[in-house]
Structure 1
Amino acid sequence: MALTYEFMDRKIEEHFGFEARDDIDGVLSTLTPDCEHDVVGWPGGPSIGHAQARKFYEALFADLAESKTECVRRLYGDHFLIDETLWRGRAVGRPFGLEGKGRPLAFRMLHVLEFTNAGDIQREQVWLDFGAILQQLS
């Protein structure tokens, strides 16, 4: 299967849509069963497979609410996509170990997604603007 830019756009938008609805099963449906899910700096390190990724999303959805994403730019390659996104929402729990207190939060994210030949996400690496998060929640 040839992966077009449009196909990769649809897949990441589907993934982000499930995240915005706190739909863990939906998010996992966009990832291969043996996926590598790596949020750089996350204390547990990279997650391998659906069971470990589920634990990450359970924690994330308990800490952040009203998730909205805005694409800033995307770069494409053969079977990969780099996405710069602005995330906006509220910090309702203890995101990244910081007391949220229901405050508004906005930060940039950089996603590096690798796709299988069938078009599923096999690897998702996420880089967060922790400086912006610390400034808003400290």
Structure 2
Amino acid sequence: MLTPAEMDRKLDEHFGFEARDDVEGVLATLACDAVHDVVGWPSGPSYGRAEARVFYERLFADLSESRVDSLRRLYGENFLVDESLWHGRAHGRPFGLEGRDRPLEFRLLHVIEFTNTGEIGHENVWIDFAAIMRQLPQE
């Protein structure tokens, strides 16, 4: 069983790779057969690193200068729940909305399950789409 400190290190590493738009680094934190599920994403969950790559390449093309501030974490046996605030810029078409290089900030909720080897085996992400829509109004 992983300790809370070990889970924190792995998730912070994952967020660090995301902040640097490092697709390979992000994928290395996932188990080979990981389930990556951004709830509401049009194509649904991805299965395995190759499918998760498609999501991250699209995400990094649409958002930049990202930073995630964890607000609160809850821990269980090989899982954690992380409530965070994402900050950055929307320069592409994030979530189908014109970014126009505007600043963006929204809440995230991650539910992360870890494998016994410490990799992320299942990642569920809930995004505050209402906040995104308020900040990226379409004209």
With the length of structure 1 as denominator, give the TM-score of the two structures. 0.98
Match of 2:37 in 1: 38
CA RMSD of aligned residues (A): 0.4
Match of 2:63 in 1: 64
Shift of residue 118, structure 1, vs aligned partner: 1.0
Match of 1:129 in 2: 128
In 1, Cα distance between the equivalents of 2:119 and 2:92? 31
Map of 1:23-34 to 2, 5 A cutoff? 23-34=22-33
Shift of residue 76, structure 1, vs aligned partner: 0.3
In 2, Cα distance between the equivalents of 1:12 and 1:127? 16
Gaps of 5+ in 1: none
In 2, Cα distance between the equivalents of 1:133 and 1:80? 27
Gaps of 5+ in 2: none
Q: Does 1:99 align with 2:102?
A: no
AA in 2 matched with 1:103: R
In 1, Cα distance between the equivalents of 2:118 and 2:50? 21
In 2, Cα distance between the equivalents of 1:81 and 1:30? 15
In 1, Cα distance between the equivalents of 2:105 and 2:135? 8
Shift of residue 5, structure 1, vs aligned partner: 0.3
Shift of residue 84, structure 1, vs aligned partner: 0.3
Q: Does 1:7 align with 2:33?
A: no
In 2, Cα distance between the equivalents of 1:19 and 1:33? 18
In 1, Cα distance between the equivalents of 2:43 and 2:102? 25
Residues matched between the structures, number:
137
In 1, Cα distance between the equivalents of 2:50 and 2:30? 12
Q: Does 1:82 align with 2:112?
A: no
Please give the secondary structure, in 1, of the residue aligned with 2:110. Answer: strand
Once the two structures are superposed, residues 42-61 of structure 1 have per-residue CA deviations (whole angstroms, 9 ceiling, x without a partner) of 00100000110000000000
With the length of structure 2 as denominator, give the TM-score of the two structures. 0.98
Match of 1:19 in 2: 18
Shift of residue 101, structure 1, vs aligned partner: 0.1
